[in-house]
Structures are given as structure tokens and as C-alpha cells.
Amino acid sequence: MLARLATLSVLLLGACDSKVTSSAVDPDLLKRLETVQDCFPTLYPKAQALLDLAETWRLDSGEVIPDPAGLTWTVQTDGSTISTIVATLVSGDCTLEMLIRFYSPTGVAQGLDLFGATSLADAIDRAATQLAVLYPNVDKFMVGDWILSGPGISGTGALTGIIGGSTNQNELEELRTTTATPVGGPPPNADSMVIDVGPPECSLTFNTTSLQTDTDPTQQYPIGVINVTIVGPEATVTATITFDDTVIARIAVTDVPGRFDFNLETQSLTYVP
């Protein structure tokens, strides 16, 4: 409530500075503000579990990335034709389950030797190394088909990682939200969604065509843009979240002046006029 009042006061002061003579505040604007403030801070940490798991996909870290707390995984194989990693990440009251498979440039599922890996990142690295030998000088990819569950929480989507690079053919070039099924190559771009029944009941639909997490060994935070739609009791808003490898993600909301800064570590949301 205090944060909402502070945001409202900033908007009112901005209106005075702009010589707006009406004393009324746009009720639709207030609803959009309330939707962001009420829904985003609770929804984003659920989606963050996906990025936490995808952190193990990095191939340019310079060392094997340890499994995050709450992660378990196994390797399953269909003879020698298809290798599947079944990963489960428990984060707070949510459980993220993901099926990870590896594909040729044309979208053929691969059977790879992943047994003996000491961590999920090690298994991903082994897969990428083998793909580089099988398909040199062309991008390969992996797909994580995921579902999220928890008390009042649900979510679904797929994440595709493009594997290639000019140095050693063993680099994670970017992440994309996609369908789970390749179509003659990487799956097409698609939305992912997280729902929290609340109260308040909110949903977050998100989409990215290119999110970079592995540009160099020291990278800590993503680089790129995620397009989102937030649905809450008061309104539906669209926004873009811009990441620039700093702890602050900047949220620009359609038809809302200024922006919101979201601290990725503290999960705090701040309005910036």
C-alpha cells in the first residue's frame, strides 16, 4: 500500500509539473499501476526458477556449474536414438519439472552418451561437445519442455537453447521461448505462462526471441528483452523487461509513464518517473 501511494504521489506531481489542470487521476492508469505492483513481484520469482535451471545450460562459464539447491535429475535413453534428461527443481513452494532433449540442426532428436555426468551442467556440456563433433560449423539446439506446479501455482512452456559459436562450436548462443516441437530446425517462438490463483489472482505470459546468459565467463545476469502480459483483478497490461547484465531489470509498461526497476536479487519493485 505504501509503495502504491508513493507511486500515485509521483504521478500527481508529474501531472502538476506538466500543467495538467484536471484534479482527477485516470482510473485506468491506477488499475494498470496496481496490476504491476500487486502481481509482478509475486509472479516473477516463479518464472525465475526457469532461469535458475537454465543457468546450468551455460557452456562458457570456465568451470562446471554446480547443481542449484533443490535440483535433481536423471538421464533416460530410448535405446541409442533419443537421450532425455528429466530435471526437477524445487524452489520455495514451487516445483519445476523439465524434459530436456538435444537436436541436430534439422530437428532430429539425438542419442548421446550422458552417463557419468557429475552435474546437470556437466551433462549439458557433454551433449554440446558431442553435437559439435556430429554437426560442425552449424547451430544445434536443445529444448526444455517444462511445467510448474505448487499451491495455487501452475505454469507451462518450453525453452530452446541454441548451441554453436565461432570459437569451439560449444557455446550457448541464446535462449528462446518456443513450442516443444522442432519444425525442420528449432521450434517456433511461443509464449510461456505462469498463473498464481492468489489472492490476488494473477497471470504472467512471457516471450523472448533472444535472451543471452552466456556471453562470457563472468556474466551474472541475462542480456535481452522479454515481452510480458500481466493479467490481474484490476487490468491487463503489456510490458517489456530489459536485462543488461546488471542486478536491475527495467520494466516499461504500455500506457504508464516512467518505468519500474526490479531488483533481481531482492525481488523489490521501484517506480521511476
pLDDT, residue 170, reads 76
The CA distance from 19 to 24, in Å, is 13
Q: How far is CA 196 from the centre of its chain?
A: 17
pLDDT of residue 20: 37
Contacts of 250 (CB under 8 A, 6+ apart): 241, 242, 244, 259, 260, 261, 262
Q: What pLDDT tens digit does each residue of the chain (273 aa) get?
A: 434 544 544 444 343 333 333 445 788 899 999 999 999 998 998 888 999 999 999 987 667 788 999 999 999 876 667 899 999 999 888 999 999 999 999 999 999 999 889 999 999 999 999 999 999 889 999 999 999 999 999 999 999 999 987 666 578 999 999 999 999 999 999 999 999 998 999 999 999 999 999 988 888 999 999 999 999 999 999 999 999 999 999 999 998 999 999 999 999 999 998
Q: Are 161 and 58 in contact (CB under 8 A)?
A: no
| Single pTM value for the model | 0.88
pLDDT value at residue 81: 78
Output the pLDDT for position 24.
55
**Contact residues for 238 (Cβ-Cβ < 8 A; gap 6+):** 227, 228, 229, 230, 253, 254
| Domain definitions of the chain by residue range | 2-272
- What is the structure's pLDDT at 15? 39
pLDDT, residue 79, reads: 61
